[in-house]
Each structure stands twice: as C-alpha cells, then as structure tokens.
Amino acid sequence: MVRRLVLGCGRAGETVVGVVSTWPGDLRVVVADETRAEAIEDAATVVHGDPTNAETYPDRADVVMVLGDDADRNLAAAREARDVFPDALVVACVGRDGVAAELEEVADRVIDARSAVADRLLSSATGDDAERVWRLLNVLRGIDGRLAVVMHDNPDPDAIASALALAQIARSVGIDVDACYYGEISHQENRALVNLLGLDLQNLDEPDAIKAYDGVALVDHSRPGVNDGLDPETDVDVVIDHHPPRAPVEAGFFDLRSGVGATSTLLAKYLKRLDLDPDREVATALLYGIRIDTREFTRETADSDFEAAAFLLPYVDESVLERVESPSMSPDVLSTMAAAIRNREVRGDILTSGVGQISDRDALAQAADKLLDMQGVSIAVVYGFMDETVYVSGRARGTDVDLGEVLRDALGPIGSAGGHADMAGAQIPLGILGAVEDESSGSLSTILDEVIAGRVFEVLENPPNAPLADAADIAFEFPLSDEE
C-alpha cells in the first residue's frame, strides 16, 4: 500500500487532496489552518499541526507532497521531510513569490502553483475526470443515511446498469444504498437481465416509499418528477445522465455529457478512475446497457463507449448476456407489433402507427424498431395508451433529422418528450381524450391519430437537423439557463 503525506494545504492543495483521495493507498495531511482541515477532513486523515515539525509526521511515507501557499514554510517543510524520509518521492509547490531553485535542492519535483492551476484547467477542459470524481465522492460522503439511486420509470438496461454502478461507488465510501425505480420492468430482455443476474432492485410505487431514504440520486434522466414518480420538488444529491437537458438541473453534483452513447459509459469511467473492479453483475449490466443504447456500437457512438466496453469485458458474465439476448417474446408484444403493422400510415419515408390500448409500453419501442426495418422507411413513430397516458416511441435511421427535437417540438407542449437524434419518446396525459366513451368505434384512436401523427407530420415538414456526429463531449458543470 502506498503511503502519501501532504504537508500544508493551500487553495490548490485542496483540489490535489481531493483527487489523490480517490487513489488506492493511505493519505495523511498535516495542516496548520483549522479551516483548511475542516474542508478536507472527509477526504483524508487530517492532523492539525505544524507541517514543518517532524513530530506531526507518520512513521513512514512513500510520497510527500508539500502544498502550502507560503513559500518559506514550504521550503522548510520540504527540507524536514527529506531528512525524515530520505527515500520518499518529494513533490513541492513553490508557493507565493517563492524561488524554485531553492526547492529543487531538496525536492524531486517542483511545481509552480500558477502553472499547476493552468494545467488543471486545461486538463479539465479536455475531459480529465479526476476532479469530477472527487466532487462526486464528496457529495456521497455528505449523505447522512440511506441513498436511493433512482432510475427513470420502467427502466431500460442503461438505467438499470447505471444505478447498479453508482450504488457500488456509493458503497465504496460507506454509504447504505439501494437501486430504485418506479413503474415496472416489462420488456422481456430487461426482465431477463434482472432475473439472470439476480438483481435486487427496489420498487418505489408504494405510497411514501421514498421517505425511507435520506438522499436521492438520478441516473439516465436529470429532473425529479420528469419520467419518474418523484415529487418535482425533491432535493437531489447526484445526477448522472447522457441526455441533453431541456431545463435547469439542480443537484449537489451533476454530470451531464451528451457526447457519449450511454450513461453506462460514464459510470464505467468513474469505476475505472476510482480503480474499482466492477462486480460481475455491474459489469455485465453496464456492457449490455452500452450495447443497447448504442445499438451495438452503431448509433451515436464515441471513443469512450469502446473504451468503457474494453474496461468492462474482463469482468462480464458472457453466458448471461447470451441468455438475455434470446428471451421468449410475450403475446402482448406480438399483438402490439401486429397492430403497428396493420395501422401504419406512411408519407414518403416517414411511418406513424397508433396501436390503441396497450398493456406493455416497452412493446412500442420494439414495434418501432421492427417498422424501421421496412423498405423505404427512415423514421418510425409508434404510439398507444395505458393508465390514462399516451406513450410514444420513435426511431430514425439514415436521416439528417433530429428525432428527439421533432418529438419535443411536436409533443412537448402537450406532454413531455425528448431523446436522441435517432431514438426518442414522449408521454402525454390522456386527459380529455379519455372522456371518449366508445373506444371500440375507433373514436379515441382517430383522435389520437389526428393529435399525435398530425403534430409529428407537421413538424417534419420543416424538421430540426441532427447534431454533428463529431461534436465534442459536453460536461455541464453549472445549472443551465431556461433557454438551454
């Protein structure tokens, strides 16, 4: 085990301590300033004392980092550390108005604080996750009690896997945590994933079930009350998602990056950065989540998705994946597919289909996938209703249209909608349409066709374009404005 000792802790030192705390090994910090000690006490073993006094040092140190702001104290601390630990690697910060040449006589490496800050900013801008990981751990450590990691309603493999991975990270810092969801897991492949891996997921549909938790994290979606059963006013501690948000996101920590193919990719990156070996269940679910959301690495795929898959592969149970991918198909799914084919309306290369009342909302997505395979079709939108809600699922391929934006423009004003350029969905309260009594006559289905298909075709007359395929990753570090 590597033993690291930090002597002094200036402003830049706090960030260094936070990052180093995510590395394996022992970390001890000697700091004279009580305020600084309080700021880092959750990240390391903190000793309140004089960094230049050897009596505050441990018996052994493999790496010594001198990170104070005062140049004279840094020089004195570096000299003392070199005497006490002659074989240690000593890294020292010059400090304000310090002279690097003096430190170079005793330290193995000397850091100019101003250059270090610039390097850190450049590193962050190019995608270094170290500081992001530190901030996540700090928020997790601050949760006093049990954490609920909440997936979106009726979760898909990406949401399930992301919740499992974040739960493993939370447990690594001593947090009691459950992976939770509202609704049901109805898609046969998703059920197979849960059953074959023996996943312990908590359903929150019982009244006040969320009150058993002291913290809330959201994965694969970003706002409480939007595609989950939470109260919209719920305080959220952590949000991790790869979908671009349509409204401000508020949380103690959030990581929203639309430049990757799956939220599972982001969680795999966290595990790798933390040097945590993913559990067999977590790794298998994450790889499956990436494969499903990127459609076997053919849809909105980034280098990070391939890198995450390579990291996960040694831990994956491949026999489970084979069984998950060939489950039996329920009669409800087959009925929905048949209705989608029978009721389709095609205009040019755009297909819409209303299937009426459904009992399995995941069947809509499967029907849209199948209809997209029809010759001459590049956009397929399928919709049906259950539990006083109209559900819409859309797929696109080989087109410059951004389907997520299409559904937002067409259906967002009457419900909630969003997604990606080639995979999107919407939910609309049935509302007054539910007052139509004689559904058997086709009245309700006719109205839904006019509202859903009509709005979609209207927007597609002048559709929003898909984003550029090589757009850079976006990591939103601050809440977005309403316009974004």
Q: Confirm whether 120 is domain-assigned.
A: yes
pLDDT in tens, 196-239: 899 999 999 998 899 999 999 999 999 898 889 999 999 999 99
Whether residues 106 and 198 share a domain: the answer is no
Whether 465 is covered by a domain: the verdict is: no
473 located within any domain? no
The rounded distance, in Å, linking the Cα atoms of 288 and 158 is: 8
481 in a domain, yes or no? no
Which candidate, 421, 431, 353, places its Cα nearest to that of 392? 353
Same domain, 310 and 168: yes
| CATH number of residue 206's parent domain | 3.90.1640.10
Specify the pTM.
0.57
The pLDDT, as a whole number, for residue 103 is: 85
Q: Are residues 237 and 291 in the same domain?
A: yes
356 with 448, same domain: the answer is yes
- Is residue 476 a part of any domain in this protein? no
Assess whether 102 and 211 both reside in one domain: no
pLDDT higher than threshold 60 for residue 466:
no
Q: What are 41-96's pLDDT values in tens digits? A: 776 788 889 999 999 999 999 889 998 888 889 999 999 999 999 988 888 888 77
Same domain, 246 and 196: yes
pLDDT for 97 equals 66
Domain CATH for 101: 3.40.50.720
The residue from 277, 293, 324 where one domain ends is 324
Q: How confident is the model at residue 143 (pLDDT cuts 50, 70, 90)?
A: very high
Q: Which tokens is 69 given?
A: 């702001």
Residue 101's pLDDT is 78
332, with CB counted inside 10 A (0-12, 13-18, 19+), is middle
Same domain, 244 and 195: yes
Residues 94 and 208 in one domain: no
Tell me which residue range forms the domain holding 99: 3-126
Looking at the 3D structure of the chain, how many domains does it have?
A: 3
- Predicted confidence at residue 327, as pLDDT, reads 59
Same domain, 194 and 276: yes
Name which of 34-38, 189-193, 370-374, 395-399 the model is least confident about. 34-38
Q: Give the domain-ending residue among 77, 109, 126.
A: 126
Of 415, 444, 445, the closest CA to residue 427 belongs to 415
Percentage of the chain modeled with pLDDT above 90:
41
Instruction: Report the CATH number at residue 441.
Output: 3.10.310.30
pLDDT at 37: 62
pLDDT of residue 121: 40
What integer is the mean pLDDT of 379-399?
91
Q: What is the mean pLDDT of the chain?
A: 83
Is 317 within a domain? yes
Lowest mean pLDDT among 71-80, 292-301, 399-408, 444-453: 292-301
113-127, 168-182, 324-338, 418-432: segment of lowest average pLDDT: 113-127
- Confirm whether 466 is domain-assigned: no
- Kindly state whether residues 112 and 214 are assigned to the same domain: no
pLDDT(33) > 70? yes
Give me the pLDDT at residue 113, please: 56
pLDDT for 93: 85
Across 292-321, average pLDDT: 87
Q: How confident is the model at residue 259 (pLDDT cuts 50, 70, 90)?
A: confident
Mean pLDDT of 183-201: 86
Q: Is residue 454 part of a domain?
A: yes
> Are residues 153 and 279 both part of a single domain?
yes
Separation between Cα atoms, residue 135 and residue 156, nearest integer Å: 27
Q: Please state, in angstroms and rounded to a whole number, the distance separating the CA atoms of residues 212 and 307.
A: 37
- CB-based contacts of 450, cutoff 8 Å, min separation 6: none
Same domain (yes/no): 122, 137 = no
Among 293, 324, 355, the domain boundary falls at 324
Q: Give the CA distances from residue 219 to residues 141, 179, 355, in Å, rounded to whole numbers and listed in that order.
A: 18, 10, 30
